[in-house]
Amino acid sequence: MTIDNLPTRIRHWIGGELLDSADGRLFDVADPVTNTPYAQAARGSQADIDRAVSAAGSAFPAWKGISNRERANMLNRIADAVEARHEQLAQFESFDSGLPITQAKGQAKRAAENFRYFADVIVALGEEAFRQADSQFSYVVRTPVGVAGLITPWNTPFMLESWKLAPAVASGCTLVLKPAEWTPLSASLWPEIFAEAGLPAGVVNIVHGVGEEAGQALVDHPDVPRISFTGSTSTGRHILRSSADHLKTTSMELGGKSPVVVFADADLDAALDSVVFGVFSLNGERCTAGSRVLVERTVYDEFAQRLAHRAEQVRVGPPSDPVTEVGALVHPDHYQRVLDYVDIGRKEATLLAGGTRPDHLPDGNYLQPTVFAGVTQDARIFQEEIFGPVVAVAPFDTETEAITLANATQYGLAAYIWTSDLQRGHRLAHAVESGMVWVNSHNIRDLRTPFGGVKASGVGREGGAHSVDFYTESKIVHVAMGHVHTPKFGGGTS
C-alpha cells in the first residue's frame, strides 16, 4: 500500500517547534505487515522531558487565564482540523498499527467528537454553591492543576490520545504527551493540527521515546502533578510507585479480562454477534474485549461450536484491504507473546478454531482468530490478559456460579451480560466486579459516563465531568454574611 506524505523522521513537538532529541538519539519505527523500519523517531530522554515541561509551564498562566468559551472555541477548531485529515489519519493508523482500514476510518470521527464533547462540557459545567441560612455563603472554585503528563498506548493510538488531550486542554492545563513508541506515526499529525487551529505554543508538547526513558522521566518530574496513563497493569503499578515520591494524582486505565455471560434464555444470535465483534475487532487488541465467554451449560456446546465456526470465517488479511476484518498484530514482540499464549492454551484447553497463521499470509504478524473451549478457572488463558484475537469459553450451571467465574480474575474493567430476564440482568450487573457493565449490548459508550475499572484494571475514572475533575483542583471558599460568633480563648471569663 502506498501512503501519501509518510514521514521518514518523526520529531518532538516542544514549545511549538519540531525538535530532535537533545542528544540526537533515534529509534526505528516499523510497520507490522513487513516488520521493516519505514521511519526513525526522536528518542526522548530526561533533557527532552525537561524542555517540554518547561515549555508547558511557561504557557500555563496565559492558557489558564482565558475563558472557558475561548478554550471551547479552540477545541472545536482542533476537531475541524482532525476531521479534515480523516483519510490521511486512517491510512497512517492502519499502516502503523495493523488496524484494518475500515476500522481505522472511524478514528478521526471519534477523535474529533472527543474535542467537540469537551468543548461543550467545559462551557456548560457549573460550580457548586452552598448557603448556611443567612450566616455564611460557600462556593467552589475549580482551577486547572498546571502541567499534566499523558502516557498513551499503541492500540487505536490517535483516538486514545485525543481522549486525554481534549479534557486536559479544555480544563486549562498545559501538558506533555508521550505517545507509544510502537505507533508514533499518527501522533506526528498533531503538530500541524494544533498549528492550524491556532493553539498557543507550549500548551501541548509531544515527546517521543521508550517508556523506560521518556515515560519514566515524565512520571518522575516534580513539576508534573497529574499523570494519566493507559496501558498494562504491571506498568501502571510501577508508575503508581514512582508517583508516590511527589504524591502525584494519577488516573490509570489498565488491563482487562472481561467476561461475557450468556444465559440460555438470551438472544443467542445477538450474543454471538457481540462476542465475535467484541473480541476480534481491532485485532483483539482492545482493553474492553470480552475475552472470557461464560455460557450456560444447556446451550454451551452449541454456542461454542457456532463461535468457532464464525471465527474460522473472519477475514484475516492486509490492513489496507477493505474486506479485512482482522489485520496484523502491532509488533513482532507482541505477536510472539500472543502466540506463546496460544501454545499455553493448547495444553490447558481444547482448541476449536484458529491458533495458527493463515496459509495465505506467510509474512507479517497474522493470527487466525482463535477459540478455546473447556477452559477452567485456573487456566492461564482464563486468568491472564492476552490482548489478541483469542477467546476462552467455559460453561456454568447456575447464576451463582456465573458470578463466581466472572469475578475469578484480578481484573475488573468491563463485563457483558446476555439474558432476556432483566431482573437477572440487573442482579448480575450489580454483582460482577467491574467498572462498566453492558446488558444485552456490546461496547457502546456514552462520552458522559465514567470510564475505568476496579481491582487490577485501574485507578480513578475518566469521561465527562470525571475527566475535568481529574485535571482541576476544587477549592471551597466560605464567606461570612453577617456577624460571626467565635468562642474567645484566652480572653478571660467576662
Annotated catalytic residues are: 253, 287
> Where are the extended beta strands (E) located within 201-357?
204-206, 226-230, 249-253, 259-262, 292-296, 350-353
List C-alpha distances in Å: 120 to 26, 199, 242.
Answer: 39, 18, 35
SS3 call for 51: helix
| Burial class of residue 378 in the structure, from the number of CB atoms within 10 Å of its CB (0-12 exposed, 13-18 middle, 19+ buried) | exposed
What does the alpha-carbon distance between residue 155 and residue 65 come to, in Å, rounded to a whole number?
A: 35
- Cα pseudo-dihedral 13, 19, 24, 27, rounded to 10: 40
For residue 493, give the C-alpha cell: 471569663
What does the alpha-carbon distance between residue 88 and residue 336 come to, in Å, rounded to a whole number?
A: 30
What does the alpha-carbon distance between residue 450 and residue 462 come to, in Å, rounded to a whole number?
A: 6
Nearest Cα to Cα of residue 394 among 409, 410, 379, 414: 379
Interstrand relation of 370-373 and 390-396 (parallel, antiparallel or unpaired): parallel
Write out the DSSP string of 466-494. HHHHHTEEEEEEEEE-S------TTS---
For residue 429, give the C-alpha cell: 450487573
In whole angstroms, what separates CA 9 from the centre of its chain?
Answer: 26
Nearest Cα to Cα of residue 328 among 31, 74, 113, 83: 31
Nearest Cα to Cα of residue 421 among 439, 401, 400, 435: 439
Cβ atoms of 78 and 199 within 8 Å: the answer is yes
Cβ atoms of 436 and 416 within 8 Å: the answer is no
